[in-house]
A = this chain, B = another copy of it.
């Protein structure tokens, strides 16, 4: 099976502009051309496209993805380099996810903070007297609930019955 750039764009739900931009940046050196100079995608190209979209999702800049694709096309002598590259991306992504988990923890603490404020009708229930500084005891209370096994997501959940 062969596919035009428009068909590929539709399948991957991206614009033909973007695909041509990727090609220009060296992400699609594997794409063939027909006699008229039009891009012709093959079934096996979707292997590469899947890899590209994965690396993009992981947050890699286009140039780095291009150099990985280049390694792929260079044949079996770059197998170890490709493995190392993927290992590095795995490590980076694990770090990123850990960081996002902290961000999520923060959002949940703040949700609980606002749930308390809503119940009291005022944010000041969470603050030290006469200030807008968060009362460390309030934060400690939240941490304690979580340490005692409460689900941080549900702790901040509002009853809207």
Mark A residues whose CB is within 8 Å of B.
Answer: 43-44, 47, 50-51, 54, 57-58, 76, 79-80, 82-83, 86-87, 89-90, 93-94, 96-97, 99-104, 106-108, 110-111, 114-115, 117-118, 121-123, 131-134, 153, 156, 158
Contacts and interface: CB of A to CB of B under 8 A. Distances in A.
Contact of A76 (B97, B101, B117): B117
A155 to B, nearest CB: 12
A43 B127 CA distance: 13
Interface of A: prevailing SS: helix
Contact of A114 (B79, B96, B123): B79
Contact of A123 (B50, B79, B111): B79
A86 B44 CA distance: 43
Contact of A97 (B89, B97, B110): B97
Given A54-B103, A58-B107, A106-B54, A114 B82 contact: yes
Given A57-B99, A57-B100, A94-B104, A110 B86 contact: yes
Contact of A132 (B44, B96, B104, B156): B44
A13 to B, nearest CB: 14
B43 A133 contact: yes
B57 A86 contact: no
Contacts of A83: 111, 114-115, 118, 158
The 7 tightest CB contacts between A and B, nearest first, are A83-B114, A54-B106, A57-B103, A90-B107, A76-B122, A44-B133, A86-B111
